[in-house]
């Protein structure tokens, strides 16, 4: 599973992968279930939605996950 989705589940914000796909990722209902993980652009949508809900700390954690992914990609290259 994707680290961002796991965070949403652990915090109790996502009732299901379909709910998280639509509400937080702003994608089709089967987006997370397709297994490719949450893309950077969908991750930014998650952070924006969390900020709109005044869930600032969780939004910051999502952004930190995205930065870590980018850093890991650059180190590996």
* Cα separation values, 50 from 9, 66, 77, Å: 13, 15, 31
pTM score of the predicted model: 0.89
40-52 vs 3-11: helix axis angle to the nearest 10?
Answer: 20
Burial of 67 (0-12, 13-18, 19+ CB in 10 A): exposed
Question: How does pLDDT run across 15-73, given as a tens digit for each residue?
Answer: 999 999 999 999 999 999 998 889 999 999 999 999 999 999 999 999 999 999 888 77
Q: Which domain holds residue 17?
A: 3-76
- Which pLDDT value is given to residue 76? 74
- Which pLDDT value is given to residue 77? 65
Instruction: Please state the domain count of the chain.
Output: 1
């Amino acid at each position: 599973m994707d680290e961002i989705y796991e965070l949403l589940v652990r915090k109790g914000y996502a009732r299901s992968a379909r709910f998280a796909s639509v509400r937080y990722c702003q994608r089709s209902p089967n987006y997370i279930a397709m297994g490719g993980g949450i893309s950077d652009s969908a991750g930014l949508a998650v952070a924006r939605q969390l900020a709109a809900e005044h869930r600032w700390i969780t939004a910051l954690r999502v952004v930190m996950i995205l930065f870590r992914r980018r850093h890991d990609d650059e180190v590996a290259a």
